[in-house]
Structure 1
Amino acid sequence: MTAGRPHSSEEWLPISRVDDVVAMGPWLLRLRWGAGLGVLAATALARQLLGVSVPVVPMAVVGLVILAYNAGLWLAFKRVRSGGRVRSVLATSLTHLELVLDWTAMLVLIHLTGGVESPLIIFFVFHIIVASLLFERAVAAIYAAAAVLLTVVLAIAEGAGWVPHRHMVGFFPGEAYTEVGFLVGILGTFTLLGTVSFYIASTLAEHARRGEERLATLYFGLQAVNSSLELGEVLQRMAEAAVEAMDVHGVAVGLVDPTHSRIEEAASFGLSESYLAKGPVLLSHSPALAEVVGSGRPLIIQEERDRRLLQYPTALAAEGIQSVLFVPLRGKERVLGVVRAYSTRERAFGPEDARFLGAIAAQGALAVENAMAFGALRQLDQDKSRFVRMVTHELRAPVAGADSILRTMLGGYVGELDERQRDFIMRLARRLDTLRMLIDDLLELAAGRMDMGRSEAEDVSVVEVVQRVIDHLQPQVQEKRLVLRLDLEAAARLVVRANGESLFRVFHNLIGNAVKYTPEGGGVVVRVTPSEQQVEVAISDTGIGIPAEALPRLFTEFFRATNAKPFAPGTGLGLVIVKELVEKAGGRISVDSDEGQGTTFTVYLPLAAAQ
């Protein structure tokens, strides 16, 4: 397969990057100013300094023409550079135009200064080098062939008398342009010099351009690799980046299993399903992989005799693979796995390719270790949540049983209690209520973390959920003689993408807290407001407020503000649960409070249409 170009904001052209062409423009323009002025100066001083006769007026006209079209090119390139995003078609056209104009001027100057006898013919080589640096090899070859062909045509035209020959008196003792040996020597030397210059310059340009494309692809590919902490995504993006950067048939990434006996295929790109289903990759049956894992060094297999080092040479042949490059995926302490690049070309890989794929693997290994560490931490957190859930679930039954016994005793079913006994049992019952509340919150927190990402999202009406919560809290509101008002600033049905029960728990906790921490006779306002692509739900109360020093720790597990503890019972887990559920729905929560003045919690949720 053929890899595509990297996705970037810049245009890729048949020549090098447009920015490079435009950046080279000022240099060529300055050089051309010097060339035009040099032609004028050489015309004026040739006879006085060198004793060489040149046609003054035609040469001066050519010099002025060079300066004139260079001024026009300067204005055109200035317009291209100031256009913000480079306009590729105009930049390419201008580059072709300036070379055509330069070559025309060069050909005229060569004709005016002796044709094939002209000392200026060597400057055509400079123009061939410039074309080879700017353009891809095929286009540069056309320019190089045109330079040789135009020079040969000029020599033939002057020798045949089709155009007049202008002999430079004082430079050649006689007119050699009609001598066959001289023509063959000069034109042969010029052709050889032009060909060698084209080959060297175009080879260097192609090498630099290929390196630039690889680095650009590597940059964008590794950006994608490092944008995720999911191990599967990291490895898949690494494989895609390697295929795109190296222009190979396919890439596979395998991780060494815990027993260090096999490679577990983790990601691939470009390879057929039949090849991927070839069977387990065992280190004992693949000397090549065993060597890479053991030594931590890259290995290239592209000779027929080396295929014995592979476990599945028949499957490789069926896939059309001719060359394989193995590079270790090295972590900080050990080899994590192996990255394999496959090419259908013979002898496709060299040391440079090994170094380049090694650079991808080195950057990818860091992302892999981060993803593995993240996965381990997530697993540890889930194990902790599972343990907490199990323990609290086991505690719930005996606590409920103890509470039932205490309620039975307080109801007088086991005999009358004196005042001291009743007070003691009621205090014990309140402690059990607090313990039961803690168990419920721990269970909810653990369940939420274990189910993170598993609960199904649905279209939920925010207004309907808030109204349900308000209806559910009416007994507490009436008991404390509070004023609870729902303020809807927009009649539109505000729908978010979330789990309905989770959203109910969020607002039940926030509105319930506002009711709980507001003294009798106070007020609570719930305001629902659409804002651009999200909905804002603000819960404001006239309660006890939150001290400024407590605000930074408000969403920390088991933390409660100092003024909240004596006012009402709590566990310090409710807001932690709220924050996690809000963020799970793609939203965020903020708080604004003054101690003694009240508190406002605001939940921001993206609308379903925006998602």
Structure 2
Amino acid sequence: MNQITRLREEEFFERLEWFINIRWATIVFIILAALVAIIIFKVSLPIIPIYAITLIIIIYNTGFKFYLTQIKHKTLPTNARKFAITQSILDIIILTILIHFTGGSENPFVFYFIFHTILTSMLLSKRYSYIQAGIVSILVVGLFALEYLEIVPHHSIKGFINIALYKNLTYLAAVTFVFISTIFIATFFTVSISEQLNLKEKELKEANLKLLEKDRLKDEYVKMVSHDLKSPLASILSLLETVTGGFAGSIEEKPKELLQRIQKKVEFLHHYTKDLLDLSRIRAERSLNIQSINIKDVIYTAAEIALPKIGEKDIQLNIDVQDNISNIEADKELLTYVFLNLIANAFKYTPSGGKILVKASLKNELLMIEVKDTGIGIPSEDIPHIFEEFFRASNVAKTTKGTGLGLSLVKHIIKRHRGDISVESKLGEGTTFRFTMPRNQSS
């Protein structure tokens, strides 16, 4: 079964549930309308039959709700559509009986059948929608005829209409014509609009799937190119380090300066291809390698990797892990990348003499992480875009090297762990990244 069919089935089940919920609202409406008519407008109604019908609706709607929960967990589209038709027919019969006990052709609420027709036509096929319109017309007109011929007793609404309109042929003919034409016109427009919406929806979903496939191919291409570039760049970088370090013999100052500038450019390209490779690899992975890990070990490992990069800075790093946190469930490699990126960024944009705090706590089985620094901060207008791919804050874009991919990857990884990440920052005072994720990924 393809993805489009599955999405349409999910939507169909949602509409079935919505239809059941509307029936609960209808039950409340019937009870309130009967009470208002009797108490406020002093209209005489057969209250026992009305509430008996309401009780029947409550019983079968409860049954429908239970049955929907049963078939929802199974892929049974045929049964689901039969279920929708059964609901529709039962509703029509019950509404016809209710109209009979509340004035028959003299009851203006008979035109409420239009709402039922519109709602059910959204669930049913074109053929069944018109069959339903025909059944409604036959039952209602049949009721009018049976009351007119006195085959079934007519229940007048005393205090509302004092004329026996149900015996007036002209009135009956007019009401019958207006009712049938309205029902079929409503069915026609509902079916037409539903068909057009379904067609557009299908086209949009197919286009979306094509875009997802193109995105996947793009990631594969970027991954392949990045991988092919990474090794040559690493070799070039190694050779440049050998030459500039004097291991290949002495070199004059001017050529050495030029080579060092080339080396910095190659280092940036090497870092850029690594980030692109990480981005493509992580986005391409369909499942996480979930395992039980020690969060403190992950944080310390990431900090040890990040520290040498800024060894020249005098920055105080504090790691505070709550004692009640034992092991958590996560992808160790990806979570290490998250901490490495956040800690490395904190070091990168915090001047000497600053402080960095990494704090981990647990609340209601939710892991809460905070990475706080006293660095240069992020401009307020840049904060909404900070997690976008290739975006760099305006106060660092021209002064420091970077790809703008790290935080985008961090957010992607956190989302894959069913978590969320946010940032608070004040320019010149520092930045705080906070993220949360469930302690147990399997639950």
State the TM-score, normalizing by the size of structure 1.
0.47
Counterpart CA distance in 1 for 2:196 and 2:208 is 19
Matched, 1:391 2:222: no
Q: Answer yes or no: is 1:491 the counterpart of 2:331.
A: no
How far apart are residue 90 of structure 1 and its match? 12
Report the alpha carbon displacement of residue 23 of structure 1 after superposing the two structures with TM.
2.1
- How far has the Cα of 1:423 moved from its partner? 1.9
1: distance between equivalents of 2:255 and 2:98?
A: 102
Higher-helix-fraction structure: 2
1:436 Cα deviation after fit = 0.5
1:162-561 matches, within 5 Å, as 205=110, 208-209=112-113, 212-213=115-116, 215-216=118-119, 241-242=123-124, 356-451=190-285, 453-458=286-291, 462-476=295-309, 479-489=312-322, 491-493=324-326, 495-496=328-329, 498-532=330-364, 534-561=366-393
Q: Which runs of 5+ in 2 are unaligned?
A: 1-12, 56-91, 131-183
CA RMSD of aligned residues (A): 4.4
Query: 1:242-288 deviations in whole A, cap 9, x for unaligned?
Result: 47x9599xxxxxxxxxxxxxxxxxxxxxxxxxxxxxxxxxxxxxxxx
C-alpha contact (below 8 Å) 1:21/1:134 kept by paired residues: no
Rounded Cα–Cα distance in structure 1 between residues aligned with 2:254 and 2:359: 48
Residues 295 and 327 of structure 2 are in contact (CA less than 8 Å); yes or no, is this contact kept in structure 1? yes
How far does residue 609 in structure 1 lie from its aligned partner after superposition?
7.0
Residue type matched to 2:318 in 1?
A: R
CA distance in 1, matches of 2:260, 2:251: 11
SS in 2 for 1:442: helix
Q: Judge conservation of contact 1:11–1:18 (CA < 8 Å) in 2.
A: no
Q: Which has more radius of gyration? A: 1
Cα distance, 1:137 vs structure 2: 4.8
SS in structure 1 of the partner of residue 42 of structure 2: helix
The amino acid across from 2:412 in the alignment is: E
Is the alpha carbon distance of 1:405 and 1:543 closer, same or farther for their aligned partners in structure 2, counting shifts above 3 Å?
Answer: same
Residue equivalent to 2:27: 17
Of 89, 92, 99, the match for 2:51:
92
The answer (yes or no) to whether the contact 2:121–2:129 under 8 Å persists in 1 is no
Tell me, yes or no, if the aligned pair for 1:485 and 1:526 is still in contact at 8 Å: yes
Q: For 1:498-532, what per-residue CA distance to the aligned partner results, in whole angstroms no more than 9, with x for missing partners?
A: 43322221111011111222223322101113344
**CA positional deviation for 1:216:** 4.2
Question: Contact 1:242 / 1:360 at 8 angstroms: preserved in 2?
Answer: no
Q: Which has the higher mean CA deviation after the structures are superposed, 559-568 or 373-382?
A: 559-568
Deviation at 1:30, TM superposition (A): 4.2
Deviation at 1:606, TM superposition (A): 3.3
SS of 1:17's equivalent in the other structure is: helix
Which residue matches 2:401?
A: 569
Cα distance in 1 between the residues matched to 2:229 and 2:442: 44
Contact between 1:544 and 1:596, CA under 8 Å: does it hold in 2?
Answer: yes
> 1:530, 1:201 → 2: CA distance?
66
Q: Secondary structure at the match of 1:469?
A: helix
Identity, % of aligned pairs?
A: 26
* 8 A contact 1:403–1:429 mirrored in 2: yes
Determine which structure has greater relative contact order: mean sequence separation of CA pairs < 8 Å that are 6+ residues apart, divided by chain length: 2
Q: How far apart, CA to CA, are the structure 2 residues paired with 1:552 and 1:444?
A: 23
Q: Return the letter of the residue paired with 1:374.
A: N
* 1:148-167 pair list within 5 angstroms: none
SS of alignment partner, residue 557 of structure 1: coil
Change (3 A) 1:16 1:572: closer
What is the letter of the counterpart of residue 32 of structure 2?
Answer: V
The aligned residue for residue 252 of structure 1 is: none
CA distance in 1, matches of 2:320, 2:298: 14
